[in-house]
A and B are shown apart, each in its own frame.
Chain A
Amino acid sequence: MLKKLAFAIVAAFAGSSAGLAADIQPVLLYDVGGKFDKSFNEAAHVGAEKFSTETRISYRDFEPSSETQYEQALKRFARRKADLIVAVGVGYSVAVRNVASQYPDVKFTVIDAIIELPNVQSITFRENEGSFLVGMIAAMKTESNKIGFIGGMDIPLIRRFERGYQQGAEYVNGDITLIENYVGTTPSAWNDPIKASEMARSQYARGADIIFSAAGPSGLGVIQAAKDTGNLSIGVDSNQNHVAPGFVLTSMLKRVDLAVYMAMKEASDGSWQAGHRVMGLEEGGVDYAVDEHNKGMFTDEMKARLEQARAKIISGEIVVGDVAGSNSSH
């Protein structure tokens, strides 16, 4: 305890001596998944940590236990004159809209939702572009010419993943068959790995040999089914290749860490701007994951084709279809 306190004092002094007048007080608010969810929120935490070690500016964070705390937490930090409040997740959209209009002097960055207010920066991702690339990977790797998709809750945001995935697969192979399933139509669909795994088993048995799941924690059921049946799966949001090495072909990365890092960095050097920022392939906001667990599954030819497609998407030669309403609150 004493050690911690001493460290805090030292850190405070170090902060004040190192920082200039521009020292800011950023705050990071997670969603109900919690800080170490091995996915979305953990990525946000990683981004904030990177900012903090680089600039030696400390940040505060908060883990709400339910959605009803969102607005309360935002208000509390806004009242304490935080400079920048970063809220992670589309669930924050209503709360940020309400609080940001009450505190026009505080900067807000919200991730995955679009809010049009003069003091709010909205960051969204082109999940369809990243999904296009993993769709290509699936189409190049499949032996049965059948691939699968399992979405969590049936909302436009998840349809966007499916749209890009299908388009990418068809870009490689026009004859490919896509089998799709959605776990449910309510938020409980994110937490039903049993149903997701049952759907995956059904898809594998019907001939699909690779399944991409965009289903939050339910997706773990898909990876488990891949392992149990000896097939391949594709992870989502963060790098899930390590969950079942050899059975996860790749993961569609959504760089929430980068978004959080950039927002804090810009707030500290004064270049932060309100408005809407979209992070696609060009901005490095989405990507596919290659690491020691799956690099053996990629050939040089596959990589070359992927890089070619990436360049074409960035240049606008390939337009990846989108789904309307993906980032509005529901």
Chain B
Amino acid sequence: MEFFADLTLLIDSTFRTATPLVLAGLAGLVAERSGIVDIGLEGKMLAAAFAAAAAAAVSGNPWVGMVAGVLASMFLALIHGYVSIAQRGNQIVSGMAINIAVAGLAPTLANFWFHQGGQTPLLGDEARFSAITLPFAERLSDVPVLGQLYTEIISGHNLVTYLTVLIIPAVAWMVYRTSFGLRLRAVGENPEAVDTAGISVTKLRYQAVLIGGLLCGLSGVVLSTGMGAAFIRDMSAGKGYLALAAMIFGRWKPVPTLLACLLFGFVDALQGRLQGENLPLIGEIPVQFTIMLPYVLTVIILAGFAGKMDAPKASGIPYEKDH
């Protein structure tokens, strides 16, 4: 029974932890499918987390925070798009520049506006997306297994997590079932062909980058106004890069990307659970070792199991009409 309780706990934690990863992973997917490498996920996530926390703190309304966070991320996405699409600059350099700039700028602005050492004020419950208890969760908690699963795992997440559940099929549908998605995939593989068909490569890529900005913005919003209750410097803590790894492991496809994010979330929850535990035969595992687990797993998966990486062929290559 204790094993069951532990497992529910780990899965519950996995859903929470994976939410920002899934959103950022899908953001990267849409951008890269159009041929724009998006290593700036980390910076956009952090910028959105800051803007959302700051706006929610000033207005006392989480929705204002959400709009501000998404706009901040889309603005940065637009800059990245301008450099990569219009100026044909190096996409890795542009993305890294965004990451570094935001890491410095966000705490500086926070200090300037709020004077709390680079943090934003702690948000009250009315100013953030707190946990939502789904209908009947209280009553069903006594029903064995199914009722408990419903109460413990499915109920009690924040609004953005539930929103993410809707966004995943929406993105998959957009990429595979719409004409926009067909063009999107084509422009990442063979922009010349798309151009010859009389469709603007530039416009398509800008659209993709902006959709990526929107999704990545939501991942930042959930960090500072859903899971947390303030912006704290560097609070994205590498989640943007992890999302990128999940997307590559998921071979630029929505469902495998989702699974990879869930796996990373699960391993992270597991490492927290294993700290300080006495395992049979092994004894207590040192903290340094358990903390290493998610990263070791990433390396093993990427090197061993991922197999052939079929990245979009035009990914990272600026499109030039005249050659």
| Total of A-B residue pairs, C-beta within 8 Å | 97
Min distance, Cβ A9 to any Cβ of chain B, angstroms: 27
In the complex, what residues of B have CB within 8 A of residue A39's CB? 117
CB pair B122–A198 under 8 Å, yes or no, is: no
CB pair B273–A220 under 8 Å, yes or no, is: no
Q: Pick the contact of A181 from B119, B230, B276 — CB < 8 Å?
A: B276
Digitize B50-83: 1 where CB-to-A-CB distance is under 8 Å, 0 elsewhere: 0000000000000000000000000000000000
In the complex, what residues of A have CB within 8 A of residue B287's CB? 154, 182, 185
In the complex, what residues of A have CB within 8 A of residue B238's CB? 188
In the complex, what residues of A have CB within 8 A of residue B269's CB? 198, 202
CB pair A35–B117 under 8 Å, yes or no, is: yes
- In the complex where A154-B288, A243-B122 touch, is A195 in contact with B275 (Cβ < 8 A)? no
In the complex, what residues of A have CB within 8 A of residue B200's CB? none
Confirm or deny: A179 has a beta carbon within 8 angstroms of a beta carbon on chain B: yes
**Which residues of chain B from 209 to 238 have a CB within 8 Å of any chain A CB?**
223, 227-230, 232-235, 237-238
Min distance, Cβ A290 to any Cβ of chain B, angstroms: 22
Interface residue stretch chosen among B9-17, B141-149, B246-254, B308-316? B9-17
CB pair A193–B228 under 8 Å, yes or no, is: yes
CB pair A36–B288 under 8 Å, yes or no, is: no
Complexed CA–CA distance, A224 and B119 (Å): 15
Min distance, Cβ A226 to any Cβ of chain B, angstroms: 12
Complexed CA–CA distance, A26 and B159 (Å): 52
Q: Which residue of B lies closest to A217 (CB)?
A: B232
In the complex, what residues of B have CB within 8 A of residue A243's CB? 122
Confirm or deny: B291 has a beta carbon within 8 angstroms of a beta carbon on chain A: yes
**Which residues of chain A from 30 to 80 have a CB within 8 Å of any chain B CB?**
33-39, 41-42
- In the complex where A192-B237, A205-B9 touch, is A185 in contact with B117 (Cβ < 8 A)? no
In the complex, what residues of B have CB within 8 A of residue A179's CB? 276
Confirm or deny: A233 has a beta carbon within 8 angstroms of a beta carbon on chain B: no
- In the complex where A192-B237, A197-B227 touch, is A202 in contact with B232 (Cβ < 8 A)? no
Confirm or deny: A191 has a beta carbon within 8 angstroms of a beta carbon on chain B: yes
- In the complex where A182-B291, A221-B228, A228-B131 touch, is A33 in contact with B117 (Cβ < 8 A)? yes
In the complex, what residues of A have CB within 8 A of residue B111's CB? 34
Confirm or deny: A194 has a beta carbon within 8 angstroms of a beta carbon on chain B: yes
Confirm or deny: B272 has a beta carbon within 8 angstroms of a beta carbon on chain A: yes
**Which residues of chain B from 280 to 305 have a CB within 8 Å of any chain A CB?**
287-288, 291
**Which residues of chain B from 19 to 45 have a CB within 8 Å of any chain A CB?**
none
Q: Which residue of B lies closest to A207 (CB)?
A: B5
**Which residues of chain A from 196 to 236 have a CB within 8 Å of any chain B CB?**
197-199, 201-202, 205-206, 217-218, 220-221, 224, 227-228
CB pair A228–B235 under 8 Å, yes or no, is: no
- In the complex where A194-B228, A198-B17 touch, is A217 in contact with B119 (Cβ < 8 A)? yes
Complexed CA–CA distance, A181 and B229 (Å): 21
In the complex, what residues of A have CB within 8 A of residue B99's CB? none
Complexed CA–CA distance, A219 and B37 (Å): 35
Confirm or deny: A184 has a beta carbon within 8 angstroms of a beta carbon on chain B: yes
CB pair A191–B232 under 8 Å, yes or no, is: yes
Confirm or deny: A180 has a beta carbon within 8 angstroms of a beta carbon on chain B: yes
CB pair B273–A195 under 8 Å, yes or no, is: no
Confirm or deny: B116 has a beta carbon within 8 angstroms of a beta carbon on chain A: yes
In the complex, what residues of B have CB within 8 A of residue A181's CB? 272, 275-276
CB pair B13–A202 under 8 Å, yes or no, is: yes
- In the complex where A181-B276, A202-B272 touch, is A34 in contact with B117 (Cβ < 8 A)? yes
Q: Which residue of B lies closest to A179 (CB)?
A: B276
CB pair A193–B230 under 8 Å, yes or no, is: yes
Complexed CA–CA distance, A42 and B117 (Å): 9
Complexed CA–CA distance, A220 and B9 (Å): 22
- In the complex where A41-B117, A180-B276 touch, is A201 in contact with B291 (Cβ < 8 A)? no
CB pair B276–A195 under 8 Å, yes or no, is: no
In the complex, what residues of B have CB within 8 A of residue A228's CB? 130-131
- In the complex where A202-B9, A224-B229 touch, is A195 in contact with B116 (Cβ < 8 A)? no
Complexed CA–CA distance, A154 and B5 (Å): 28
Q: Which residue of A lies closest to B118 (CB)?
A: A34
Complexed CA–CA distance, A311 and B229 (Å): 39
CB pair B232–A220 under 8 Å, yes or no, is: yes
Complexed CA–CA distance, A221 and B269 (Å): 16
Min distance, Cβ B108 to any Cβ of chain A, angstroms: 8
Confirm or deny: B88 has a beta carbon within 8 angstroms of a beta carbon on chain A: no
Min distance, Cβ B107 to any Cβ of chain A, angstroms: 9
Complexed CA–CA distance, A179 and B275 (Å): 9
In the complex, what residues of B have CB within 8 A of residue A33's CB? 117-118
Confirm or deny: B177 has a beta carbon within 8 angstroms of a beta carbon on chain A: no
Min distance, Cβ B238 to any Cβ of chain A, angstroms: 8
Complexed CA–CA distance, A41 and B118 (Å): 13
Q: Which residue of B lies closest to A243 (CB)?
A: B122
Min distance, Cβ B10 to any Cβ of chain A, angstroms: 8
Min distance, Cβ B279 to any Cβ of chain A, angstroms: 15
Complexed CA–CA distance, A11 and B64 (Å): 45
In the complex, what residues of B have CB within 8 A of residue A224's CB? 122, 228-229
In the complex, what residues of B have CB within 8 A of residue A36's CB? 115-117
CB pair B117–A38 under 8 Å, yes or no, is: yes
Min distance, Cβ B116 to any Cβ of chain A, angstroms: 6
9 closest pairs, A vs B, by CB? A37-B117, A34-B117, A191-B234, A192-B237, A180-B276, A182-B287, A199-B272, A217-B232, A154-B287
What are 15 A-B pairs at a CB distance below 8 A? A33-B117, A37-B117, A185-B287, A185-B291, A191-B233, A192-B235, A194-B17, A194-B235, A197-B227, A198-B272, A205-B5, A217-B232, A220-B122, A227-B125, A244-B122
Q: Contacts A38-B119, A181-B276, A191-B233 given; 16 further ones with Cβ under 8 A?
A: A37-B116, A37-B119, A184-B291, A185-B288, A188-B237, A192-B235, A197-B228, A198-B16, A198-B17, A198-B268, A202-B9, A202-B13, A206-B9, A220-B232, A224-B229, A227-B125
